[in-house]
């Protein structure tokens, strides 16, 4: 039988699974193979091969490969925990670097707990047990839920359109993951369990270094921001998609939206108050990854600053690019506009120093077509009650403002730090939330298809990994722009865009993964969303004219 493997046509035996047909390639792989892309869909290695199938193996050096690895590791943790504590419950809370933070409802996290859980997980991994995806009809699923009183995979059952309900079984343990799992427990080669705060961390490698367990670097400010929102949403009793859907079905969603938006407003007001308290601050620097809502945040912060007697004056770093001939190039020989060396740091700092000293400066405007700065007579001088507001990917990096003293700067890191879970074991990735935001905005205001957004997303996230995330702990404060209800508001537009991507495109696998996430959200009407909401930056129709 003919199959296409990594773009080449090869022959394989009839009736084999991917695992059987590519056993040699899997065993020789430099990194652990955990799944595959089969006809542009993410699958596990037990997938039966058909004639002319297109197959690409996924190892842990790929982004989806490491996601499969992490999902499988969390699944194994669930099996180990349940075998040790049959009557207790656990919650996978959020990601911190290359680790997942988990909490138990009624168990003190002691040294013995950590050792027992880690030992049981290692035992499951060493046994190299099969993980099998089992399908049930609705009647069979109803019986399972009635007999076990479990919430595992319950969202599938509550989604009435699902005729088939899936579970992943490993021996007697079952659970569901909203994404592909590996076909056996033995694929896990590196992990660790360590106590952290009132819970524990599951540590794992990254796709950049699949054979190493990176040192855990505590991100206190990021953890604090996540924990703060986690507690608030527990108070709201909306910390899972099931509870969010219940609020929509019971017509309580307007209250949830108002409370979520009020929380944003209160936090922004607190940041403005903190800036005013620091008497020497003359420069506010805002940075965050793509689709965090930086533009709306800056506008809303500006209003709160005015209430405190400070007038914001915005400067664009984009007008300070070096001349095109001096722009650094990346490994492919293309211009790299995202690295800090692409900015004329000497001129930028010279102008900042003059402005903060009360001098007048003629501001450049960068002509992107010609690749040069132009001076059109636009002059700026800061008044006593004015403060500079600068937004850009390098704003947390002190290299950008090296000539300005620390006490004159106030740095803000913003990101959509999602704290909503599908259920106790399945968290929603912050990166996925931002991707869905960007997809909707790209379509609404830039005329780009979801295909285009997905095609460029890896390059976007790579730039963030290099230029933003290493500096997030240097911020004076972190603002979480996520809204507990946002995926319900973005769902209908995002789903229609993703469904346009057909199976012939390599982006189809990612599109299907996101569809499988979004389909479980009940949609909500945009009319419920306040016009000053950060979400309006992506949906349109907001108070601030941003596009």
Q: Could you report the per-residue pLDDT of 6-45, keeping only the tens digit for each?
A: 888 887 878 899 999 999 999 999 999 999 999 999 999 9
Model pLDDT, residue 511? 97
Give residues with Cβ within 8 angstroms of 467, minimum separation 6. 338, 339, 340, 393, 394, 397
Write the CATH number for 41. Answer: 3.10.20
Last residue of some domain: 32, 59, 86? 59
Q: What share of the chain is helix, strand, coil (3-state, %, to 5)?
A: 40, 20, 35
Model pLDDT, residue 9? 86
Residue 22 within any structural domain of the chain: yes
Residue 159 has which token pair? Answer: 């989604």
Average pLDDT over residues 205-218: 91
User: Across all residues in the chain, what is the average pLDDT?
Assistant: 93
Residue 331 within any structural domain of the chain: no
Residue 228 — pLDDT band, cuts 50, 70, 90?
Answer: confident
Q: What angle do CA 399, 338, 501 make, to 5 degrees?
A: 150
- Give the model confidence (pLDDT) of 175-210 as tens digits: 999 999 999 999 999 999 999 999 999 999 999 999
> Rounded CA gap, 28 and 34, in Å?
13
- Give the model confidence (pLDDT) of 332-370 as tens digits: 888 888 899 999 999 999 999 999 999 999 999 999 899
Strand, helix or coil at 343?
A: strand
| Count of structural domains, the chain | 2
Residue 414 has which token pair? Answer: 């913003």
Give residues with Cβ within 8 angstroms of 507, minimum separation 6. 450, 451, 454, 455, 501
- Give the model confidence (pLDDT) of 367-395 as tens digits: 989 999 999 999 999 999 999 999 999 99
Residue 89 within any structural domain of the chain: no
Residue 367 within any structural domain of the chain: no
Residue 53 within any structural domain of the chain: yes
> Rounded CA gap, 415 and 75, in Å?
28
Model pLDDT, residue 547? 53
Residue 221 — pLDDT band, cuts 50, 70, 90?
Answer: confident
Residue 78 within any structural domain of the chain: no
Ordered DSSP codes for 494-547 = HHHHHTTS-TTSTTHHHHHHHHHHHTTSPP--GGGS-TT-TTHHHH---SS---
Residue 293 within any structural domain of the chain: yes
Burial degree of 524 (CB within 10 A; 0-12, 13-18, 19+): buried
Does the pLDDT at position 538 exceed 80? yes
Ordered DSSP codes for 38-89 = ESSSEE-TTPBP-TT-EEEEEETTSHHHHHHHHHHHHHHHHHHHHHH-TT--
Model pLDDT, residue 234? 72
Model pLDDT, residue 378? 95
Average pLDDT over residues 393-403: 96
**87 compared with 379, residue with greater pLDDT:** 379
Model pLDDT, residue 546? 57
- Expressed as residue numbers, the domain containing 52 is 2-59
Q: Which residue has the tokens 């009809």?
A: 137
Of 86, 117, 112, 84, the closest CA to residue 102 belongs to 117
Does the pLDDT at position 500 exceed 90? yes
- Give the model confidence (pLDDT) of 244-281 as tens digits: 999 999 999 999 999 999 999 999 999 999 999 999 99
Last residue of some domain: 59, 88, 105? 59
Model pLDDT, residue 545? 62
Last residue of some domain: 27, 59, 91? 59
Residue 119 within any structural domain of the chain: no
Does the pLDDT at position 164 exceed 90? yes
Model pLDDT, residue 423? 92
């Amino acid at each position: 039988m003919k199959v296409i493997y990594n773009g080449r046509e090869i022959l394989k035996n009839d009736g084999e699974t991917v695992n059987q047909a590519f056993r040699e390639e899997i065993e020789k792989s430099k990194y652990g193979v955990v799944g595959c892309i089969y006809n542009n869909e993410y699958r596990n290695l037990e997938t039966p091969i058909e004639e002319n199938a297109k197959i690409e193996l996924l190892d842990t050096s790929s982004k989806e490969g490491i996601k499969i690895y992490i999902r499988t590791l969390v699944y194994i943790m669930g099996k180990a925990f349940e075998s040790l504590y049959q009557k207790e419950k656990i919650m996978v809370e959020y990601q911190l670097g290359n680790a997942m933070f988990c909490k138990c409802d009624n168990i003190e996290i002691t040294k013995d707990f950590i050792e027992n859980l880690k030992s049981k997980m290692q035992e499951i991994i060493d046994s190299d047990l099969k993980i099998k995806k089992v399908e049930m009809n609705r009647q069979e699923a109803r019986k399972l839920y009635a007999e076990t009183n479990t919430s595992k995979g319950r969202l599938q059952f509550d989604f009435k359109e699902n005729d088939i309900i899936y579970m992943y079984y490993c021996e007697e343990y079952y659970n569901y993951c909203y994404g592909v799992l590996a076909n056996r427990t033995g694929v896990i080669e590196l992990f660790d369990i360590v106590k952290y705060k009132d819970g524990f961390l599951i540590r794992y490698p990254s796709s950049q270094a699949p054979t190493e367990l990176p040192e855990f670097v505590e991100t206190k400010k990021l953890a604090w921001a996540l924990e703060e929102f986690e507690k608030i949403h527990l108070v709201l009793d909306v910390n899972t998609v099931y509870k969010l859907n219940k609020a929509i079905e019971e017509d309580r969603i307007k209250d949830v939206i108002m409370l979520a938006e009020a929380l944003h407003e209160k936090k922004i007001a607190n940041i403005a108050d903190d800036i005013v308290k620091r008497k020497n601050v003359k420069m506010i620097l805002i940075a965050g990854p793509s689709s965090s809502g930086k533009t709306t945040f800056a506008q809303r912060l500006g209003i709160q600053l005015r209430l405190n007697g400070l007038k914001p004056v915005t400067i664009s770093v984009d007008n300070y690019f070096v001349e095109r001939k001096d722009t650094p190039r990346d490994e492919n020989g293309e211009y790299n506009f995202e690295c800090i060396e692409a900015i004329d740091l000497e001129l930028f700092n010279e102008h900042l120093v003059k402005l903060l000293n009360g001098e007048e400066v003629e501001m450049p405007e960068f002509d992107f077509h010609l690749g040069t700065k132009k001076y059109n007579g636009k002059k700026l001088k800061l008044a006593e009650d004015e403060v500079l507001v600068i937004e850009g990917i390098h704003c947390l990096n002190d290299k950008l403002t090296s000539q300005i003293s620390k006490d004159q700067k106030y740095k803000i890191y913003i990101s959509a730090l999602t704290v909503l879970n599908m259920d106790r074991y399945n968290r929603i990735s912050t990166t996925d939330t931002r991707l869905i935001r960007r997809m909707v905005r790209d379509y609404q205001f830039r005329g780009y298809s979801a295909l285009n957004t997905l095609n460029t997303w890896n390059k976007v996230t790579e730039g963030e990994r290099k230029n933003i995330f290493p500096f997030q702990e240097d911020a004076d404060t972190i603002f979480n722009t996520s809204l507990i209800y946002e995926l319900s508001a973005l769902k209908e537009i995002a789903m229609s865009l993703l469904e346009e991507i057909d199976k012939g495109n390599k982006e189809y696998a990612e599109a299907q993964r996101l569809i499988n996430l979004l389909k479980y959200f009940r949609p909500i009407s945009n009319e419920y969303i306040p016009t000053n909401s950060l979400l309006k930056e992506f949906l349109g129709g907001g108070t601030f004219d941003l596009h």
